[in-house]
Structure 1
Amino acid sequence: MDKENAVVETVATGDGGSDKSPQAIEPDSGGVEAHDDVEYVKGHPVINNGADVSKFIVSDRDDGDPALTFRSVVLGSVFTALSSVITILYVFKPYQVQVSPVFLQLLVFVFGKAWATFTPRPDRFKSPWIQKILRFLNFGQHFGIKEHVVAALIASSGNNGLSGVEVHAVERLFYDFHVSATTAVLSTFSIALCGFVLAGILRPLIVYPGEMVYWSTLPQVVLYQNLHFDPAANKRRLTKFAWALLIAAVWELFPAYMVTWFGGLSIFCLASLDAPEHTRKVFSTIFGGASSNEGLGLLNFSLDWQYIQSTFLSLPFKQQVNSWIGYVIFYIMMSALYYGNAWNAKTFPFMSSSLFLSNGDKFTPDSVTNPSGTIDYGKLSAIGLPHLTSSTVWGYLTQNLAIGALITHVLIFYRKDMILAWKQARSRTQPDPHYQGMLKYKEAPMWWYLALFVLAFFAGLIVTIKGETTLPVWGYIVSLILGAFIAPFSCILYGLYGTGVGTNQLSKMVAGALHPGRPLAGLYFASWSHQVILLSVNLANWLKVGQYTKVPHRIMFATQVYGTLLGAGLNYAVMITIVNSQREILLDPIGNSVWSGATVQNLNSQAITWSLAKEVYGIHGRYLIVPLGLVIGLALPFAHWGVIKLVPRVRKWPLNTAIITSYAGAQTYYGSTSWINSTIAVGIFSQAWLRRRMPGIYNKYNYLIGAALDGGSQLIIFILSFAVLGASGTERPFPTWWGNPSGNPDHCL
């Protein structure tokens, strides 16, 4: 197997206990050379795999500073409240706002430094009691990296339980189910924590190995270390970080507000301005992409960093190559399906996630339900089964292809490496320096994870036995089994490639097949099943951040659980308040300028739709190809393996059919597509050119500047959301002009 695709890299990792910055470890000679399996260009190492990241990008320094302090818990709790309350609040707003991890990271740092700087030092006081109290409160004391990580971890965990709270919102609004406080607490607790056990059990495979990098979080890790390790020595880098953040913040004002045309530059759209309407419609379908569901965005280019993000500066070259192949398939298949009139595609819009009647009118899910919220098959027979757009069918199909391919790809290509990783973890011989640096800290014992799972499992069991979820006990158990089966494969892919495969639609499809005509049962089934997968990936990702920054294992576990429960509780309390006080407006399909039930209405519509899975996707269904995608996907890696046997040099190509098929259809859910070519350009610049040609600059600045660009753009988006984009209830649009047209920003039809 190709070295870049290996789960475990046995390259010599040098001095695991060194406190030197990784950038200081480099040879003196210039030119291109290889030494100790590391490639050098002009004296700087080229980052090719996880072992290189561990040695040259992330420092193995550990100052032994405290992690769990009064200050870290308070800051984490405050910003958990901020992020979770804002998130649930804007579930019920016409404009959506999210608090990003990088934004939280910077907020925590600013307040942590202020806490250390503007509070009195204990040594200023003579009384030992006052000194003790001030030390406990961390007054006047250094704000360290581990405190920073713990506080940001707590804050970022606050929305882990959001899915369960949204289910309760749908219950209250559309079914008038007011579940008991016991049911609400137990179900929220169960859904929020049910997936943690898998990350704990699978730590030797998905966290410990050096190749499990979790690439998309590297900008955060590098930023943590640059902010806290030798800030004087890193002054030049931090200065560049500050300038990049400022420039990104100022620039974001233009594409996000004043010159929205920058969000989708299309030569073809501009060339078609005076063309006949039919021609403009075709051009908009193929080349338009700046607006939601406008078109494919072929050769469209975005200058809006909020859509590009540092992810594409961070994801490894092997991942991005596969995504580029997927994009090509996306362009070809979407055009072929629509213009080939597959599934009567031309009767419906080119791209839309809505449901339609056979004549092209919109299908209203509520028109086929009875007062109890279950399907009224008499009404359904009169109206007819819903139709999907070709883009939706293709999106669902590629998701299932990707899930199937994910399972067999991991088993075929990573089986031996997983066995080796497990053996190395048991013998404590895993060579990664960051793993070795964590051996001095006590592990969170396995029984902690198992005990948490037992509590979460029985909490969910009580809820289903009481019957308030309409989900039978056997359905609840199947949902957990489904999530537990897929989660390990998702974690391995995410760790190796920094990207995952969408699994939510599979959970909904299985729920609909098992519980036909019962949308609420499907919602609960999908929430439990998908949360097992999502939480496994989230916890594994944070455990890796903790390994890189040397936060003790037990603290990582405890704070993740604390943040999740705190956020879930706050989410639920805010949800109850809003639903009770704004019920009529939230049930209105239009809402008003302050409140909107569009998000929960969409959840309910999806639940009703998927409760028809047998009729729509079954053996006699119109879209049988969608579930068959799982079987086809399972076969794709076998075909890949067969080609390698016939043509051995193909082994050197970092192909992954799960990622290819995922990216061949995932864009159907994003709405706008103008960002695709921009991310390709960013990936080529970062991973294909800068990393290979100028590794010195890449190693020092690639991830740091990526974090700065994210922080700057997200800061301005957050401010604009409240100031002018309608998040505060009043929208103040920028005057319409050529650079900010009233129609599609790219000037397509």
Structure 2
Amino acid sequence: MATSYHQINAPLIQNGEASDSYRTSPELENSPENEDSPIEQVALTVPVTDDPSLPVFTFRTWILGTLACVLLSFLNQFFWYRREPLSMTSISAQIAVMPLGHLMASTVTKRVFLKGTKWEFTLNPGNFNVKEHVLITIFANSGAASVYAIHFVSIVKVFYRRELSIIVAFFVVITTHLLGFCWAGILRRYLVEPAPMWWPQNLVQVSLFRALHEKEERSKGGLTRNQFFLIAFICSFAYYVFPGYLFPMLTSLSWICWMFPTSVIAQQLGSGLHGLGVGVVGLDWSSVCAYLGSPLASPWFATVNVAIGFAIFIYVITPIAYWFNIYKAKRFPIFSDDLFMSNGHKYNISDIIDSNFHLDLEAYEREGPLYLSINFAMAYGFGFACLTATIVHVLLFHGSEILQLSKSAFQTRKMDIHTKLMRKYYKHVPDWWFICILLFNIIAIMFICEYYNDTLQLPWWGVLLACGVAISFTLPIGVIRATTNQAPALNVLTEYIIGYIYPGYPIATILFKVYGNGSLKQGVFFLQDFKLGHYMKIPPRAMFIAQILGTTLSALVHLGTAWWLMSTIPNICDREFLPTGSPWTCPSDHVFYDSSVIWGLIGPRRIFGDLGHYSAINWCFLAGAIAPFLVWLAHKAFPEKQWIRLITMPILLAAVAEMPPGTPVNYTSWVLVAFASGFVAFRYYRGWWSRHNYLLSGGLDAGLAFMGVLLYLCLGMQNINLNWWGSDTDGCPLASCPSAQGIIVEGCPLY
């Protein structure tokens, strides 16, 4: 192993002894010197050491883990309804609990209770250690992950204004979590133990754990990891007062709009929030990370795939389709998540719902067909292509690996050093634990859906079908997420299936989507946590308990927060009646509601099928299946050109999966930062990158989160707002106007 690696990653030596946080294991001492992860980023970040004697599930773990989970669940749900959702990652809790852990270690009694019995325990086992810290962060991760099922609650209560019991709502939320937990547990041998499944996002937290726990001497003229992180945190904390309050326009500097204040076309091109975002840049870390995660954690090849997919979609396909007026595109905004009538006005969905909460066909014929903005329609095309591309890509590029893992699932196989250490010292969690939870969960869901069928609409067979779709796609999507830090979504497939089989039932459609796509997303979150515990050598059974408890707490707090906000904020999510500048616009819930109308109420046959005018978009399914096959053929024809294999069609096509509600400024800013980190810093400043890159990501996240909360508590709750030119987050009022002749829309010029 190269000397530079040891200088970065070897346990720090203090007076001839290894650091308390990381002690070399006997197995490692007898291993070859160069044994490490085959993934370079992992080798540069994750220690190949362990101390199995460190206590893990302590009194501190329970108290601080519960506190972190509750706090993050509340804050993330609170800010999720806002125009630019503030996503507080578990990194914030990871930092905040550090001094609290040391405080408890120095103040809590060290008395041993029930001494001499098999129930002997103490509230203070000694110094606050890294494994306690990791398990607390696993608790916090349960609160940091978005709760997909809350969309269901919001749509039923706010958009459709239907009665929904909080007991039924909680049941939907918790069962979605548990389904995802079971998918993750069953598939962990494929997506956690193999070294190639390296989960890049976890390296941010691993790097931060090392910075907080390892003793480090500051080199002359340099900074320790702790000092660097603190500087990044303070800078981010201080800076966010500008985009967060004083100068919101920093979120999207759409300079073309300023040059052409009366031109609809120019503003359609230049708007970062309502147009194509040509030349736009955002100087707001919350807009950079809002939908794509931290750009500092994205591998360079994945960044390139996202950038290419975004550029093709937003700068080629969308403007061409708009220019040629495909699907009457010029009658509507070029970029919007609203639903429209043929005259360019927004569709009043309540006019086409009958008293049984079903589609009123006569009313629908009278009002006319539903239209989408060209951006929204083309985004569905990319979503169709992504589904088939995901399956074909995983079969072609990872099929042999999956087959080999399947054959050797219960046999001894070659393992990297991290898996060896986990197998040597800790008991694994038996598969039957997960299977029992899964079977009980599915039976309970079917019973509740039948018992509350008037409210939930989904029949028992729909539950089984949703579970079948979720488990079938968790493996291929998990492979892509574990290797690229990006993941295609399954929402389009679940919508398409239930929309065709069971049309006209919007609640059934979104519930099927929650159990099909939502449980998959939760499963991927759990798998990422499993890998974090794997890297940090946390006993699997302790992980199991922490995730079950964290899941339950998170579901309770997320639902309670959402219920409180929906009950106390007038007209929440209703853009027509909210005050000007109100942040409570619920962008993600609006897209979820649109989907329930398109796929559930009206049904895919009347939109994308033989009765609809968007049927040609179905050819994207075939295009998506062909695309990775062409890449595979090129790789076989030119094996010496390794860059061909890095073309990942599911990521390229899924680049715009978050658009809408994601906007061009979110993407352009993300790509620029990811380029600076993944290409420039990683290639030309490797030492700096390995030491500081992930710390910078954590510091920026944490600083923004704490300042965002402070701004709301001090100013937002008092309705103290500024009103000047810089308060407009975009400055492009005409970007949402149509450009077709004769279309009259309030606030827009008439062509």
Q: Is the 8 A contact 1:421 1:430 kept in 2?
A: no
Quote the Cα distance in structure 2 between the aligned partners of 1:371 and 1:363: 19
Give 1:348 shift. Answer: 0.2
Q: Is the 8 A contact 1:263 1:745 kept in 2?
A: no
> In structure 2, what is the equivalent of residue 216 of structure 1?
201
Q: Is the 8 A contact 2:176 2:514 kept in 1?
A: yes
Quote the Cα distance in structure 1 between the aligned partners of 2:591 and 2:665: 25
Given candidates 106, 112, 118, the residue that maps to 2:101 is 112
Q: Is the 8 A contact 2:243 2:250 kept in 1?
A: yes
> In structure 1, what is the equivalent of residue 669 of structure 2?
678
Query: What letter matches 1:107 in structure 2?
Result: A
> In structure 2, what is the equivalent of residue 715 of structure 1?
706
Query: What letter matches 2:437 in structure 1?
Result: L
Give 1:328 shift. Answer: 2.2
Q: Is the 8 A contact 2:12 2:214 kept in 1?
A: no
Quote the Cα distance in structure 1 between the aligned partners of 2:2 and 2:437: 35
Query: 1:50-103: CA deviations, max 9, x gaps?
Result: 522332211122233222122112222222222223444556778855432222
* Equivalence map 1:557-636=2 (5 Å): 557-575=544-562, 590=577, 603-611=592-600, 612=602, 613-636=604-627
> In structure 1, what is the equivalent of residue 749 of structure 2?
none
> In structure 2, what is the equivalent of residue 470 of structure 1?
457
> In structure 2, what is the equivalent of residue 28 of structure 1?
none
Given candidates 195, 198, 214, the residue that maps to 1:229 is 214
Q: Secondary structure at the match of 1:668?
A: coil
Quote the Cα distance in structure 2 between the aligned partners of 1:597 and 1:84: 17
Give 1:236 shift. Answer: 1.1
Given candidates 76, 81, 97, the residue that maps to 2:65 is 76
Could you state the TM-score of these two structures normalised by the residue count of structure 1? Answer: 0.84
| Unaligned ranges ≥5, structure 2 | 14-35, 736-751
Given candidates 402, 406, 415, the residue that maps to 1:418 is 402
* Equivalence map 1:362-401=2 (5 Å): 362-401=346-385
> In structure 1, what is the equivalent of residue 651 of structure 2?
659
CA gap of 1:655–1:688, structure 2 versus 1, over 3 A, is same
> In structure 2, what is the equivalent of residue 99 of structure 1?
88
Q: Is the 8 A contact 2:92 2:702 kept in 1?
A: yes
CA gap of 1:501–1:241, structure 2 versus 1, over 3 A, is same
Quote the Cα distance in structure 2 between the aligned partners of 1:94 and 1:723: 19
Quote the Cα distance in structure 1 between the aligned partners of 2:585 and 2:666: 28
Q: Is the 8 A contact 1:479 1:529 kept in 2?
A: yes
Which moved further from structure 2: 592-601 or 204-213?
A: 592-601
> In structure 2, what is the equivalent of residue 303 of structure 1?
283
CA gap of 1:252–1:601, structure 2 versus 1, over 3 A, is closer
Query: 1:232-284: CA deviations, max 9, x gaps?
Result: 679711111111111122122223332334333455445446xxx23xx3222
> In structure 2, what is the equivalent of residue 511 of structure 1?
498
Q: Secondary structure at the match of 1:202?
A: helix
| Unaligned ranges ≥5, structure 1 | 1-11, 26-47
CA gap of 1:675–1:73, structure 2 versus 1, over 3 A, is same
Q: Is the 8 A contact 2:338 2:346 kept in 1?
A: yes
Q: Is the 8 A contact 1:13 1:55 kept in 2?
A: no
* Equivalence map 1:5-84=2 (5 Å): 21-22=9-10, 51-64=39-52, 65-84=54-73
Which moved further from structure 2: 52-61 or 525-534?
A: 52-61
Quote the Cα distance in structure 1 between the aligned partners of 2:348 and 2:324: 27
> In structure 1, what is the equivalent of residue 18 of structure 2?
none
CA gap of 1:311–1:225, structure 2 versus 1, over 3 A, is same
CA gap of 1:49–1:386, structure 2 versus 1, over 3 A, is farther
Quote the Cα distance in structure 1 between the aligned partners of 2:86 and 2:243: 17
Query: 1:404-456: CA deviations, max 9, x gaps?
Result: 11110010011122234455664443432211121121101101111111111
Quote the Cα distance in structure 1 between the aligned partners of 2:246 and 2:570: 35
Give 1:109 shift. Answer: 2.4
Give 1:510 shift. Answer: 2.4
Quote the Cα distance in structure 2 between the aligned partners of 1:599 and 1:684: 27
Quote the Cα distance in structure 2 between the aligned partners of 1:143 and 1:151: 12
Q: Say if 2:122 is the partner of 1:136.
A: yes
Query: 1:639-665: CA deviations, max 9, x gaps?
Result: 2223334444455321111111122x3
Quote the Cα distance in structure 1 between the aligned partners of 2:560 and 2:537: 35
Quote the Cα distance in structure 1 between the aligned partners of 2:584 and 2:277: 32
CA gap of 1:175–1:652, structure 2 versus 1, over 3 A, is closer
Q: Is the 8 A contact 2:37 2:43 kept in 1?
A: no
Q: Percent identity among equivalent residues?
A: 23
Quote the Cα distance in structure 2 between the aligned partners of 1:748 and 1:241: 42
Quote the Cα distance in structure 1 between the aligned partners of 2:573 and 2:37: 49
Q: Secondary structure at the match of 2:141?
A: helix
Give 1:186 shift. Answer: 4.4
Quote the Cα distance in structure 1 between the aligned partners of 2:154 and 2:653: 34
> In structure 2, what is the equivalent of residue 703 of structure 1?
694
> In structure 2, what is the equivalent of residue 285 of structure 1?
268
* RMSD, matched Cα: 3.6
